[in-house]
Structure 1
Amino acid sequence: MKTSSRAALIMALPAVVLFFVFNTIPTIQGVFYSFTNSRGYGKWNFVGLDNYVRLFGDADILHSYLFTFQFAIVSTIAVNIISILLALALSANIKFRSFMRSVYFFPAVLSVIVVSYIFNTIFSSGLPQIGEALGIPGLATNILGSEDTAWIGIVVVSVWKACATTTVIYIAGLQTIPEEVVEAALLDGAGAWKRFWSITFPLITAFFVINMVLSFKDFLQVFDQIVALTAGGPGTSTQSISFLIYKAGFAGGEFGYQSANAVIYFVVIAVLSLFQLRILRPKGRAS
């Protein structure tokens, strides 16, 4: 027993060391610099809680938080609705089911930045050309060029990319439902909606909670899509928190200030994730 435990510790040690070097140490450094006026280079001085106090009065940062939360909420709802529908369709007795599962999972293996650049071309030239040819004014303009519609393009790309993983998780959940329960509901004359709401959804609530928490957390950290699609524009209309931290912290000389923003951002994501688990999990058990 002691030998196996020692072997397990030795095998885990490299991963622990790498995690500490590339995750824990940078995190500690970020918290440290959040109490300074560091520009990322040169001399710096301690400023105490000044950075944190300034954050709550910074209109640019507040706007970024508002955009990020709106984007995350819309995307989380959309990706879970679409993924449940896809999972139900792919779990049905249809031809080429295995092939279709592979097709729907394909977006997960693609690079986010590459996919975003491809969609950028589609939104900027592909759809406008189709819109002009068909005489549809709504498609004839680049949605990424308007402050009112640019966020829609980011949502489309993000949801398309995220559906792959969430759909697979829902498929795994659907496979845990006993066939006898579904057959009994069919014999009782329950319709499709009644079977879903009374049997299917309650039995996959745990998977629903996982997808809600993970997708919301991932959407709150949206970055690559914004870099490739809008670069935070037009103006600052699609500037997420992650993008603002990168732009102002590394390129704008606000390293210490944006480090404080990153610390607050981490706390917000952690608190919201725990809140989601606390709110959603009791409902799943009650079902």
Structure 2
Amino acid sequence: MTSSTQALPAARGAGSAGPTPTPRRPKDRAQTTFYWMVWPAVIAFFLFHTVPVLVGIFFSLTNYAGYGAWNFVGLSNYVNLFKDDRVLQAYGFSFLFAIAATVLTNLISLSIAMGLNAKIMARNFWRGVYFVPYVLAILVIGYVFQFFFSSSLPKILSNIPLFADNILTNETWAWTAIVALAVWQSCAFAIIIYLSGLQTIPRELYEAASLDGAKAWRQFRSITFPLISAFFTINVVLSLKGFLQVFDPIVALTNGGPGTATESVTLLIFRGGFSGGEFAYQTANAVVFFIVITIVSLFQFRVLQRREADF
């Protein structure tokens, strides 16, 4: 009895064609599709971003001029950067410009966004109007601003000594014209970010604050700004990072002049690396600039996110 019972499963196994294959679960198919979609992007990123970065770091350790032979020089390019007055001046100008433009962009953008978020007529129309500068070619608009600062403004404000002459030729104040152009364009994107944050605040909070006697400034300080602090962090970090890399507005308005008064780090890298025979030297400058921007951005996130947690 026992032997026949044991033989029955064996007979069934011998007569079958093999184990039944387990059907693929939807989760497995989703994972396979995910990898097929991600890997091409990863490979493209590696080829067009990571490889050029590694090649640039390699050449920053040489004396390559962009043509001809080259030799390894170690860290001498990096050491010479900190002794180069022109490089230090470019970094000083870039940070001065970036800080001023970031502050103005966020103040103006937040003010406009709060106005658009209020109950005004044709609100959607004005949102579109304020976003127009962001979609325009900055070089084209830059040449329009150049004509305005060099020709129109001296005639309109001829009684003011600062604007009586072309401000773009003034070594002390030429940078302010570049700030005006950069802020005018950058406010468009920042306004959209702030509007997104303002629309997440319930109206009931303002109504309750009004009943408690809170004025407009008190409501902004205690309700509006704390609840949009995450959006403020995004705008400040993106603004400062973008303004540190300023290039197009300078090319359009002053081309780094007068002299080198408005020469940014990116413009210096472009000039020296591609037309000045300093390919390896300016590549080292680009590596240092990348590290500086990364440190500044991480520091901003750390400080601003800490403030978010305090509210």
TM-score range, shorter chain: over 0.9
RMSD: 1.1
> Are 1:274 and 2:298 counterparts?
yes
- Looking at structure 2, the residues matched to 139 and 280 of structure 1 have their Cα atoms a distance apart, in angstroms, of 38
Corresponding position of 2:69: 43
Q: Distance in 1 between matches of 2:49 and 2:237?
A: 22
**Which residue number corresponds to residue 164 of structure 2?**
140
Shift of 1:125: 1.0
SS in 1 for 2:163: coil
Q: Which amino acid aligns with 1:236?
A: T
2:97 corresponds, among 71, 83, 107, to: 71
* CA shift for structure 1 position 140: 2.4
Residue 126 of structure 2 corresponds to which residue in structure 1?
100
Q: How does 1:100-179 map to 2 (within 5 A)?
A: 100-132=126-158, 135-179=159-203
Pair 1:241 & 2:241 matched: no
Is 1:189 paired with 2:213?
Answer: yes
Once the 2 structures are TM-superposed, how far is the Cα of residue 230 of structure 1 from its aligned partner? 0.7
1:126-159 C-alpha deviation (Å, 9 max, x unpaired): 2122224xx4443322111110111001100000
Match of residue 80 from structure 1: 106
Residue 223, structure 1, aligned to residue 234, structure 2: no
Shift of 1:62: 0.4
TM-score between both structures, scaled by the size of structure 1: 0.97
Q: Secondary structure at the match of 2:157?
A: helix
TM-score normalised by length of structure 2: 0.89
CA apart distance, 1:11: 2.0
Partner of 1:6: 32
- Cα shift readout 1:41-97 (whole Å, capped 9, x = no counterpart): 111000001001101111000000000001111111110001110110000000111
3-state secondary structure, aligned to 2:68 = coil
Give the greater-gyration-radius structure (CA).
2
SS in 2 for 1:219: helix
Which runs of at least 4 in structure 1 moved beyond 6 Å after TM superposition?
none
Q: Which 5+ residue runs of structure 2 have no aligned equivalent?
A: 1-26
Equivalent residue number for residue 281 of structure 2:
257
SS across alignment from 1:177: coil
Equivalent AA in structure 2 for residue 72 of structure 1: A
Once the two structures are aligned, what percentage of the paired residues are identical?
A: 54
- CA offset at residue 26 of structure 1? 1.2
Please state how far the C-alpha of 1:5 moved relative to its aligned partner.
1.6
What is residue 307 of structure 2 aligned with on the other side? 283
Alignment-mate amino acid for residue 189 of structure 2: T
Q: Whose relative contact order is higher, 1 or 2, with alpha carbons under 8 Å and at least 6 apart?
A: 1
